[in-house]
Chains A and B, each alone.
Chain A
Amino acid sequence: MKTVKMVVTGPFSAGKTQFIQSVSEIDVVATERKISSDEERSVKSATTVAMDFGRITVDNDLVLYLFGTPGQKRFDFMWEILSEGMLGFIVMVDSTRPETFREARSILETFRAYAPTPFVVAANKQDVEDAWDMEDIRHALRLDSNTKLLPCVATKRDTVKEVLLQLLYSILTEMDLDK
């Protein structure tokens, strides 16, 4: 059995676990713990401390694993381990929480430095009224025009599929460039 993996990263409560859950054929194996800090508890009640783990079987011989990283900075020692051997990565950002954009930028730069693999940025919760416009998010995250910034609603499978497909297209393009 051949296996490949992609990493879904982003700040705390960006929607990484939900993203994986939307397309995984197994219940996401999540290492979640109750949240201890008051500030974080006001956003959600449990968080990923080691990783989320989803699976998409392609055929009898090939499986894609999706790994979700813990969003909190104190677990960043896990990031490099999870990024080892990834095909590419997705940075998720909650479009309604601009206070997390700076951290998203930092996570993006950290992952870019780990490995020269393709990546895309998924702007989650684009269906919510107070979501930031895509162009504003692009500026806030300092993304150049070549970086794919994609609208996403982590609970809707179609938008999650589109994010994964766009990342795979980028991987193909990169392979062609390498030739």
Chain B
Amino acid sequence: MALRGNLRDFTVTQLLNLINLANRTGTLILDGPSEQAHLAFRDGKLAYARVGKEDGSLALVLHKANKINANQYRAIADRAGQMTDKELGLLLINAGYVTQEDILLNLQKYFTDLVRKLFTWVEGFFRFENEILPPQDRINVRLDLENIIIEGSRQLRELEHLQDEIPSLDMALKFTDRPLSNVNLSVDEWKVVKFVDPKNTMRQIGKTNGLSDIEVRRIVYGLLQAGLVEMTRPAGVVQAPNPKQFPTQDKDEQKTLINKLIGRIRTL
């Protein structure tokens, strides 16, 4: 039977485990919240990965790792044309820009980071295509999945814990009375702190700063634990009255009703 389904029922970690145990060859395609990911495997080992618009090419990976600068990256993209990544790699090694080890380590790191990012995808669909083999024009690695799976499970536990602590990102934050003056915050923590205001939901803060849901939760959890902020309902959001709440929409009648309830409960 085709390996396909919903990420709500099957986590990325479980999928990697299955591919690893069955020594599968092919490509796992994940349709996430806003991007699509392609993970190619050979004999149960990760060979290649790309997510969204990034093509996972050697030039891109080396550029991201600061092994080649922006001009060199552009020049390669313009002139390398039909050259495969293997040919490009040989060219760069022979020209003394990188070593073979540099290339392999950076590709492994890039692919591992991409897979790590996928662990936070809990919504979306997946399918495994046996016929789509790891791309021949790219340099394929052979990454054992065990360590990635262990890390993924750890992240999943962390995510569950954070979701328990902060169930909804649609709540806002406000400062407590504790001063922020003697607190050492990281750059990302400052990004969040800068927007702490009952008018901003945590989801909006994350979106403004380009932070994923788990990153926002992780930062907010730290701030909550330190007693620097507390969660509050977003201010200024006009909630439509729930007609089911009261049998009448007349404010005075509603008040009378509550007073009747108070009277009754006092007599119990």
A136–B82 alpha-carbon span in the complex (Å): 68
Contact, CB under 8 Å: B239 / A116: yes
Interface residues of A (CB under 8 A from B): 2-4, 23, 56-59, 62, 64, 84-87, 102-103, 105-106, 109-110, 112-113, 115-117, 142, 144, 157, 161, 164-165, 168-169, 171-172, 175, 178-179
Task: Evaluate contact between B168 and A109: CB separation under 8 angstroms.
Answer: yes
Instruction: Specify which of A3, A56, A86, A171 is in contact with B264 (CB 8 Å cutoff).
Output: A56
Bound complex: CA A169 to CA B231 (Å): 23
A85 and B170 contacting across the interface, CB-CB below 8 Å: no
B200-231 residues at the A interface, CB under 8 angstroms: 224, 230-231
Do the beta carbons of A58 and B264 come within 8 Å of each other? yes
Residues of A within 8 A of B265 (CB): 23, 56, 161, 164-165, 168
**What's the minimum C-beta distance from B33 to chain A, rounded to whole angstroms?**
20
Q: Is the CB of B167 within 8 A of A106?
A: yes
The residue from B171, B176, B255 contacting A112, defined by CB atoms under 8 A apart: B171
Task: Known contacts A102-B165, A106-B165, A172-B255; decide if A142 and B224 are in contact (CB<8 Å).
Answer: yes
Interface 1/0s, chain B 148-169, versus A by CB < 8 A?
0000000000000000111110
Cβ of B268 and Cβ of A171 under 8 Å apart? no
Residues of A within 8 A of B109 (CB): none
In the assembled complex, the CB of B157 is this many whole angstroms from the nearest CB of chain A, namely: 14
A4 touching B164, Cβ below 8 Å: no
Given contacts A58-B264, A109-B171, A144-B230, whether A85 and B258 have CB atoms under 8 Å apart is no
Q: Contact partner of B251 among A23, A112, A113, A175, CB < 8 A?
A: A175
A110 touches B168 (CB 8 A): yes
Contact in complex: B164, A113 (CB < 8 Å):
no
Q: Does A142 contact B230, Cβ atoms closer than 8 Å?
A: yes
Task: Assess whether B258 is in contact with A110, with CB atoms less than 8 Å apart.
Answer: no
The reply to whether A171 and B233 contact each other, CB–CB distance below 8 Å, is: no
- Contacting residues, chain A, for B164 (C-beta < 8 A): 102-103, 106
B261: chain A residues within 8 A (beta carbon): 4, 58, 62, 64, 168
Given contacts A62-B257, A105-B165, 11 further A-B contacts (CB under 8 A): A4-B245, A4-B246, A4-B247, A87-B258, A109-B231, A117-B245, A142-B224, A142-B230, A168-B258, A169-B262, A178-B251
Sample 12 A-B pairs with CB under 8 A, ordered by A number: A58-B260, A59-B260, A109-B165, A110-B167, A142-B230, A144-B230, A161-B265, A169-B262, A171-B258, A172-B255, A172-B258, A175-B254
Q: Which residues of B contact A57 (CB under 8 A)?
A: 264
Contact A62 B233 (CB under 8 A): no
Q: Which residues of A contact B245 (CB under 8 A)?
A: 4, 85-87, 117
Chain A CB within 8 A of B266 CB? yes
Across the A-B interface, give the 7 residue pairs with the lowest CB-CB distance, nearest first.
A85-B244, A113-B168, A2-B247, A110-B167, A106-B164, A58-B264, A168-B262
A74 shortest CB reach to chain B, Å: 13
CA A59 to CA B166, docked complex, whole Å: 41
Q: Which residues of A contact B244 (CB under 8 A)?
A: 84-85
Nearest residue (CB) in A for B171 is A113
Chain B residues, Cβ within 8 Å of A62 = 257, 260-261
Cβ of A110: which chain B residues have Cβ within 8 Å of it? Answer: 167-168
In the bound complex, residues from chain B placing their C-beta under 8 Å from that of A64 are: 261, 264
- Chain B residues closer than 8 Å to A3, beta-carbon distance: 247
- When chains A and B are docked, how far (Å) is the Cα of A115 from the Cα of B263? 26
Residues from chain B with Cβ under 8 Å of A157 in the complex: 268
Alpha-carbon distance A59/B261, docked complex (angstroms): 9
Q: Is the CB of A4 within 8 A of B167?
A: no
Q: Which of B164, B251, B263, B268 has the most CB of A within 10 A?
A: B268
Chain B residues closer than 8 Å to A116, beta-carbon distance: 233, 239
* B186 interfacial by beta-carbon distance below 8 Å: no
Chain A residues whose CB sits within 8 angstroms of the CB of B66 once the complex forms: none
Residue among B233, B263, B264 with the highest chain A CB neighbour number at 10 A: B264
Q: Are A2 and B257 in contact (CB under 8 A)?
A: yes
